[in-house]
Amino acid sequence: MAKTAVGPHMREKEAIPDIDIYCGSATPELARLVAERLGRPLGRRNVDHFADGECHVQIQESVRGRDIYIVQSTCSPVNEHLMELLVMIDAFRRASANRITAIVPYYGYSRQEKKSTGREPITAKLVANLLTTAGANRVVAIDLHSPAIQGFFDIEMIHLTAMPLLVNHLRTHIDVHNAVLVTPDTGRVKVAEKYANLLNVPLVVMHKRRSGERGEGVEVSVVVGSVEGKRPIIVDDIVATGSTIITCAKALLDAGALPNMTVAVMHGVLSPAAEERLAMPEITQIVTTDTIPIHTPSLLQKTVVISVADLLAEAILRLHQGRSISELFRNVDEEFPV
């Protein structure tokens, strides 16, 4: 099965009596780990559905005047988990909670943050509006597809990064002396530069073109940088269908890269198509986080899951105590803007 790694400073916290951690049905194991780090039990709630599929939530203990943190990724099924989160927020607001923080490790709809063609929605902004209207006082997310999404919120928005966790694993478990850091997206060169600087490896940029009605087809036109005889570490924020990764992997092999590749992604959406594509033997390891539960049986043997529980627990503690969040990222090359 997939191996789960933890952050370098993961430890259990002393119990914080006035923090309440709840979860929806999307990421219960991650929520349990976060609550465990804070020395708190998960709050009791009941989530069920009416016969027609309507979501129903009941909070099973008093939350009047309490500081509430709801851990819920809006991952597949996205609409179900998003609606569940909104209903939970409304339930806490009507139960007179003092402050409601939505911890959304994976922010669904983040790839719809701008109009690519005419007559399209900007759904990432719509989701921000929904969370605000439901009654959330602030939102915490990890590695948004676009940092500009922070500006979509009219409430406090905390943007965390799991980059140090992934870098620490790559640095300690992979021989980087003959490696190159590869980004398949020219729009994420700045993020890739941070990876490359932290790992002290050369950066290779792949220029891709998207095709198809929703841009799901990918063609690599240019590989900028030398990869001959090198071990590629391909980094991206989201892997959904795997088309970008597999196309880039083939282009790297054609350019002389070693058939020993590592793929490091923040959010493993991993549709059935991605599971089939990433099974190619030249991709020897996949490193991701537990912002989305991993359900890919054929990839388990070569997948390492890095837990973000300690990161979230420390962020919650600092938010609750009014302490700096930016200090969490002092080891990142440039200060991460929180």
Q: What residues are annotated to the active site?
A: 208
Helix (H) or strand (E) holding 250: helix 243-254
Cα gap 155→283, rounded to integer Å: 41
C-alpha torsion sign, points 4, 141, 100, 91: negative
| CB-CB contact of 198 with 174 (8 Å) | no
Question: 4, 33 in Cβ contact below 8 A?
Answer: no
The two tokens of residue 140 are: 């915490």
| Residue 281: burial class (beta carbons within 10 Å; 0-12, 13-18, 19+) | exposed
Q: Which residues pair with 304 in a beta bridge?
A: 3, 287
Q: What is the dihedral of CA 304, 264, 208, 298, to 10 degrees?
A: 0
Q: Identify whether 77 is preceded by a cis peptide bond (ω within 30 of 0).
A: yes
The encoded tokens of residue 189 equal 């060169």
CB 91 within 8 A of CB 59: yes
Vertex 185 angle, CA 315 and 73, to 5°: 35
Answer yes or no: are the C-beta atoms of 227 and 257 closer than 8 Å. yes
Residue that the structure tokens 């980059």 belong to: 163
